Amino acid sequence: MANNKRRRHKRPIKDDYVPPFDAAVLQAEIVELELRENTQKLLLEAGLKTIYDLVVREDKDFYKIRTFNKKDLLDVKGALRKKKLYNKPTPTPPPDPQGDEPARQDNKQTAGALKKGDKPDRGDKGKEKKERTVVRMPYSDELDAFVEGVVPERPPRVKIVPVAEKPDPYVKISRGGKWGFKERNGKIVVEPVYDEVFTYHDDLCCVEKEEKFGYINRQGEVVIPIEYDCATSFSEGYACVYRREKCGYIDKNNETVVKFEFDAGTPIKDGECRVKKDGKWGEMHLVASSDGSVKTTEIRWIT
């Protein structure tokens, strides 16, 4: 018997984004961007051959490429910036509506109450109503009290209050291709003099200037020199930074707590991070001693 069921084809996701750049520039090959050898190899293996293939993608799309990391993304963004180009901006989610929703009145209960109140008592005349005793089932280990006739009270319900994320008081601004910060009331607190700025974490912000990376505080003062070849934001008091092709970890005093001997590293979370060396990833814990020094546990290699 022939199968008459129609196959349902998935509709492609509609994307109306059109890069605002000259068509001739977009058709140029990515080799003209002078990327690092490893970055260019990863892009070509993923089938990205032209500049157009780069500028129509958001930052998150590049991480779908196998072994593509933060350093490779910074390499791509820096090369595009030199050509006065940029990849597809990440859309900003709409703000949450403010104000509480007014409580709704249950019209059925209100109407029922009025109607019930208007009706006369339908009980038998001359007879007293018998009161009904509602016995609730016991909770937990209070069965003995229930057997003796004492009904335990229902334990109070715990009200879960969601934790509201407080937005950062600073907002990124751009002027003449340079980046800085302003307060939400419009006051500029960090002049736009950097090629790139990250968001603030641990009250420090990673910045890029002339292809080098460092950190500034809330007053815009450089507290960690702009001297690293690549860097990530601080997390739990530490940050992963690169010198040439190797990365390590520093603290807020720019003291090295993990030597520069790894090919890649992730931010610290709950005292733990992942590091890559010789093609293998492993888990490493940072433990702070009583004297303020930091020690690392033996790495548990995953692959």
SS3 246: strand
Q: Please check the confidence at residue 73 and state whether its pLDDT lies above 60.
A: yes
Q: Is 89 within a domain?
A: no
Residue where a domain stops, chosen among 82, 104, 119: 82
Q: How much is the average pLDDT of 46-60?
A: 89
What is the model's pLDDT at position 164? 66
Average pLDDT on 60-79 reads 89
Average pLDDT over residues 202-229: 95
Q: Establish if 235 belongs to a structural domain.
A: no
Residue with more model confidence, 27 or 99? 27
Please report whether residue 267 resides in a domain: no
- Structural domain contains residue 217: yes
**Residues 224-243: what's their mean pLDDT?**
95
Percent of the chain with pLDDT over 90: 38
In a domain, 236, yes or no: no
- Picking from 238, 241, 246, 248, the residue whose alpha carbon sits closest to that of residue 287 is 238
Q: Which residue segment(s) compose the domain that 175 sits in?
A: 166-228
3-state secondary structure of 289: coil
Q: CA 87, 88, 90, 91: dihedral to nearest 10 degrees? A: 160
Q: How many residues does the chain have?
A: 303
Judged against a pLDDT cut of 50, whether residue 80 lies above it is answered with yes
Alpha carbon distances (Å) from 97 to 94, 101, 147, 165, 170: 9, 10, 52, 15, 21
Report how many domains make up the chain: 2
Mean pLDDT, the chain, rounded, equals 80
- Cα 234 from chain centroid (whole Å): 14
pLDDT at 281: 93
Examine residue 201 and state whether it is found in any structural domain, yes or no: yes
Last residue of a domain, one of 82, 116, 132: 82
CATH of the domain at 42: 1.10.150.20
Distance CA 230, CA 140 (A): 57
Instruction: Tell me which of 204, 228, 252 is where a domain ends.
Output: 228
The reply to whether 142 falls in a domain is: no
Q: Give the pLDDT band of residue 19 (cuts 50, 70, 90).
A: confident
Residue 289 has pLDDT above 70, yes or no: yes
Selected residue with higher pLDDT from 46 and 102: 46
Q: What is the pLDDT, as a whole number, of residue 261?
A: 95
Arithmetic mean of pLDDT, 101-113: 48
Burial of 55 (0-12, 13-18, 19+ CB in 10 A): buried
Structure tokens at 224: 């960690």
- pLDDT bin (cut points 50, 70, 90) of residue 233 is very high
The rounded distance, in Å, linking the Cα atoms of 225 and 212 is: 9
Does the structure show a pLDDT above 70 at 99?
Answer: no
DSSP track, 149-181 = T-PPPPPPPPPPPPPPPPPPSEEEEEETTEEEE
Distance CA 282, CA 296 (A): 13
> Among 50-54, 74-78, 151-155, which is the least confidently predicted range?
151-155
CA dist list (Å): 176 to 38, 81, 173, 180: 31, 12, 10, 11
User: Does 154 map to a domain?
Assistant: no
Q: Report how many helices (DSSP H) and strands (DSSP E) the chain contains, helices first.
A: 7, 16
pLDDT at 186 over 70: yes
The answer to whether 205 and 216 have CB atoms below 8 angstroms apart is: yes
Instruction: Kindly state the tokens that stand for 76.
Output: 């791509």
- Return phi, psi of residue 193, to 5°: -125, 5
